[in-house]
Amino acid sequence: MRLAAQRLTPLLAVALLWAAGCLYASPPVEPRYFTPREPEVIKPDPAVRADAPLLRVRRVRAAAYLRDRMVWRRGVEIGFYDLWRWTETPARFAQSWLDDELYARHGFRRSSSPTVPTLDANLETFDELLAPAHEASVTLEVVLTDPKAGVLLDRTIEVRRPIASDEPSAIADALGDALAAAAQQVGEAVAGTLGARPL
């Protein structure tokens, strides 16, 4: 009888600890949300030249895995951070950066007409690279077409920036810098092709 009681005592202690854990459970960990560092602010609503080329920019598309969770990559392996998320999808960030670059910095006139030159952009990477170097990687594929002249520009732009630490804010900042540089290269290439002059 005493032996049975001795065996039950540890089981009873475990049961009491389990019950206490159920009653006083710690709150669940909440996701953290980040926005990449934006390009430098320019003067609001710059005047657009009347002779500036018209340009239509279609909605930026992104690789299927680029959604709200932050992505890491090691070689051919891709993974996701469960609790580190973007405030918008990476495609929305790329759209905003490209619009600012093309319309605000290079002075193209906005158009939705299919008869004007049209830019299609695909965001292929927006990743934290873990090896061989800790870097932010942004890859934009852009195609500029004209309904009369056909393909005017077809280019893949890849930009990498070092990531200062393992903090998610450092990753977001580096990805923002890389995206801004990629958008700038797109703006320069499109302006060189269509003859736009910077504002």
For 132-160, the three-class secondary structure string (H helix, E strand, C coil) is CCCEEEEEEEEEEEECCCEEEEEEEEEEE
pLDDT band at 47 (very low <50, low <70, confident <90, very high): low
pLDDT band at 52 (very low <50, low <70, confident <90, very high): confident
What pLDDT is stored for residue 120 in this prediction? Answer: 98
Dump pLDDT digits (tens) for 129-179. Answer: 999 999 999 999 999 999 999 999 999 999 999 999 999 999 999 999 999
What pLDDT is stored for residue 199 in this prediction? Answer: 47
Name the packing angle between helices 168-194 and 90-99 (round to 10°).
Answer: 40
Task: Give the residue, 17 or 83, on which the prediction is more confident.
Answer: 83
Whole-number average pLDDT of the chain: 87
Is pLDDT above 80 for 8? no
Lowest model confidence (mean pLDDT) among 4-13, 50-59, 64-73, 115-124: 4-13
- In order of their start, the domains of the chain are 32-194 (3.40.50.10610)
Sign for the pseudo-dihedral over CA of 34, 36, 42, 46: negative
Q: Which of 111, 162, 157 is nearest to 138 (CA)?
A: 157
